[in-house]
Chains A and B, each alone.
Chain A
Amino acid sequence: MVTKRVGLVAPPGVLTVSPGDVIRVTSEFDYTGPAVSGKIYSALYHPTFLDPHDEIARNSKDFSITDSPPPGKHFTGYVDLTVPEGFSGTDFGLYTKLIGIPGADIFSPYYDNIIEIVGAVPEFSNLVISSYVKR
């Protein structure tokens, strides 16, 4: 299997993708405490009338960290998101959270308007009457 990398962007840069593309979201955090395991969860979202962070793609990956007494450890991980069909525009964002850990989920900031989806909506053109007959 060959992974072809098309672009690498850091916030607040904008990454342009198309439906079916895979966005690799790399996140990092610092941790201090006893050994722990959980999931790193990332999502692609856009604002809607009801939800400012309506997720259109999401994925997660397991992580585990050994005992991390102060000053703690630095962890980096990535999650791949497949851009779904049927969306286009420039108002897509990303965020990451840690789930399945003791206590409440931990959230990254919401990074608004950093993903542009192009070519998602089928385009109709050249609609004409090509002939007509008497029946």
Chain B
Amino acid sequence: MPEHLDIVKIEITTPLPEEGYPDTTYKIEGSVKMFDAVGAPPFVYAQVQKKEWYKPEVVEEVTYERGFPIPVTGKFTIEWRPEKLGTYEVTVVATPAPLPLPVIGVPPITGESDMMKFSAVEKPAGEYSNLKITSYENVTV
């Protein structure tokens, strides 16, 4: 885990739901503010850690989804699309520089949000009701 310097405040206004479905896009919205600093907002990423009960935390799969803060307001949106069933821990982190992907030599984390837990579950079958014929007409083409 990279070094954590708490100089950026990340506020989440639209967190992930606690439960969702694979191959569906979810949005995390929030804002990022730098304490006692002026300048462009830092880079923000959703750090997604897929939890596997049989794996030690250090070898769990971690991916990053980038968000783009708007200058001045610092508001950002990050889109994330889970691909597998399972439990994820998602934290929005701020860095002073873009993360190379795959992540090698992660720059210091300058702030992070509260961690959000997300469970990707099987899509339920849809429910259909009130299927009926409402009208019929004779049309001639």
Chain A residues close to B by CB (< 8 Å): 1-11, 15-17, 21-34, 36, 42, 65, 67-68, 72, 76, 80, 94-98, 101-103, 106-109, 111, 114-115
Q: CA of A95 to CA of B132 in the docked complex: distance in angstroms?
A: 8
* 42-64 of chain B: CB within 8 A of chain A: none
- Please tell me which one of the listed residues B126, B130, B140 contacts residue A21 in the complex, with CB atoms under 8 A apart: B140
If over half of B's interface residues share one DSSP class (helix, strand or loop), that class is named, otherwise mixed; here it is strand
11 A-B contact pairs sorted by A residue (CB < 8 Å): A4-B139, A6-B137, A6-B138, A9-B136, A10-B134, A11-B132, A17-B138, A26-B137, A27-B134, A94-B136, A101-B128
Indicate if B3 sits at the interface (CB-CB under 8 A): no
With contacts A34-B24, A67-B24 taken as known, whether A29 is within 8 angstroms of B137 at the C-beta atoms is no
Minimum CB distance partner of A21 in chain B: B138
Indicate if B27 sits at the interface (CB-CB under 8 A): no
A28 proximity list for chain B (CB < 8 A): 130-132, 134
- Please tell me which one of the listed residues B24, B131, B137, B141 contacts residue A1 in the complex, with CB atoms under 8 A apart: B141
Per-residue interface assignment for chain B, residues 112 to 135, with 1 indicating a CB less than 8 Å from any chain A CB and 0 otherwise: 000000000001111111111111
With contacts A33-B126, A34-B126, A68-B126 taken as known, whether A4 is within 8 angstroms of B133 at the C-beta atoms is no
- Contact between chains at B131 and A106 (CB < 8 Å): yes
